[in-house]
Amino acid sequence: MANQKKSEYQLIKTMCGIHAPSGNEVKMKEFILNYISKNSKNWKHKHKIIHGKGFQDNIILVFGKPRTAMFAHLDSIGFTVRYGNQLVKIGGPVTSQGFELVGTDTKGTQTVSLHVKEEKHGREITYKGKRDFERGTELVFKQNWKEDKNFIQSCYLDNRLGVYNALKVAETLKDGIIVFTTYEEHGGGCVSYLQKYIHQKYKIHQALISDISWISDGVFPGKGPVISLRDSLIPRRSYLDKIISISKKNKLVYQLEVEGSGGSDAKELQFCENPWDWCFVGAAEQNVHSPSEKVHKKDIEGMIKIYQVLMKEL
């Protein structure tokens, strides 16, 4: 069992090291397609895979007669090189002096250091390296994986853990849809047309958001994944009650989360033309949107378990 767990965490480590900031998720897409090709023969049930023309870098997996869709975004935060050594944020990364960033342009791969200077007009974000990158190059946090008995720590656990959860759920899923999405960290956009396709073709109107939340004064590491009662948006209470009831009945370990900010792929479901119920369910991390995001292993295992049950019983 220990060796099996070690190999599973190696999968997370590998995905956290893949370059896939919002707008350039192609390497994650290719990794997921290759993973499915190699591993789906061991899954309990057959699936249909939808991707390619008309779906950009998103992937849809359809199992049996689906009732519920789970959404997991492939992209990460990062930075875009502007002019010279100037940087523009992709999403909302933490910017602290000295963070190591890595990027690749036509001249090769380079590791540089992040520099922050307070100016009258606001923060100036730049980098220092042996040379300037070509403009438009995407930079991401350099990975520094750490693991001990209880925790894993790395950049981009948000949302590689959500993707990992989806791949683990796929192993036993009989009826359901898994959607790997893009652009979530920088404004979204793809869920709008993905939900339309799913709603029209499969008549589905309920969803779970497989994403990573944050440790707070009311959410603690090792106490189970969160069922989010609200963030900047509020899901429909009757749907939440159903999820909580199923979780209680199955004696699942979870925490209830209440926040006034934050968002996910759910925002496009909330505002689309079709009636969707949705709920964010996921492990919570420390050091959000930094190079050292940290998640308790029990919460990862609990996240997989709660999704296996909810996708079966919703």
Domain count, the chain: 2
Share of the chain above pLDDT 90, in %: 95
Span 233-241, average pLDDT? 97
pLDDT at position 12 is 98
Span 295-313, average pLDDT? 98
- Verify that 49 and 149 share a domain, yes or no: yes
State the CATH number of the domain containing residue 93.
2.40.30.40
User: What is the rounded CA–CA span in Å between residue 266 and residue 207?
Assistant: 8
- Verify that 72 and 152 share a domain, yes or no: yes
Q: Is the pLDDT of residue 26 over 90?
A: yes
Q: How far lies 233's CA from each of 79, 118, 262, 263, 269, in Å?
A: 27, 33, 8, 7, 11
Q: Is the pLDDT of residue 1 over 80?
A: no
pLDDT at position 195 is 97
- Verify that 115 and 259 share a domain, yes or no: no
- Verify that 99 and 59 share a domain, yes or no: no
- Verify that 137 and 229 share a domain, yes or no: no
State the CATH number of the domain containing residue 197.
3.40.630.10
- Verify that 66 and 182 share a domain, yes or no: yes
- Verify that 268 and 131 share a domain, yes or no: no
Q: Is the pLDDT of residue 4 over 90?
A: no
User: What is the rounded CA–CA span in Å between residue 78 and residue 141?
Assistant: 7
Helix-helix angle 237-249:297-313, to 10 degrees: 110
Domain coverage including residue 89:
78-141
pLDDT at position 311 is 98
Span 103-111, average pLDDT? 97
- Verify that 69 and 121 share a domain, yes or no: no
Please report where in the chains the tokens 């404004």 appear, as a residue. Answer: 187
Span 267-283, average pLDDT? 96
- Verify that 82 and 55 share a domain, yes or no: no
Mention every residue, 6+ apart, whose C-beta is less than 8 A from residue 157. Answer: 12, 16, 212, 285, 293, 294, 295
State pLDDT tens for residues 64-103: 999 999 999 999 999 999 999 999 999 999 999 999 999 9
- Mean pLDDT for the chain overall: 96
pTM of the model: 0.96
Q: Which of 119, 141, 163 is the last residue of a domain?
A: 141
Sign of CA dihedral 111, 117, 122, 124: negative
Span 11-25, average pLDDT? 98
- Verify that 127 and 267 share a domain, yes or no: no
Span 252-272, average pLDDT? 95
Q: Is the pLDDT of residue 5 over 60?
A: no
With cut-offs at 50, 70 and 90, classify the pLDDT of residue 123.
Answer: confident
User: What is the rounded CA–CA span in Å between residue 128 and residue 295?
Assistant: 30
Q: Strand pairing of 59-63 and 47-50?
A: antiparallel
User: What is the rounded CA–CA span in Å between residue 254 and residue 124?
Assistant: 41
- Verify that 114 and 175 share a domain, yes or no: no
Q: Which of 141, 169, 190 is the last residue of a domain?
A: 141
User: What is the rounded CA–CA span in Å between residue 253 and residue 299?
Assistant: 9
CB 22, CB 184: distance < 8 Å: yes
The more confident residue out of 122 and 7 is 122
Helix-helix angle 26-39:2-16, to 10 degrees: 150
Sign of CA dihedral 241, 166, 188, 158: positive
With cut-offs at 50, 70 and 90, classify the pLDDT of residue 6.
Answer: low
CB 212, CB 161: distance < 8 Å: yes
First CA to last CA distance, the chain: 30
- Verify that 69 and 24 share a domain, yes or no: yes
With cut-offs at 50, 70 and 90, classify the pLDDT of residue 216.
Answer: very high
Buried b (16+ CB within 10 A) or exposed e, 84-116: ebebeebbebebeeebbbbbebeeeebebebbe
pLDDT at position 122 is 79
pLDDT at position 78 is 98
Q: Which of 99, 114, 141 is the last residue of a domain?
A: 141
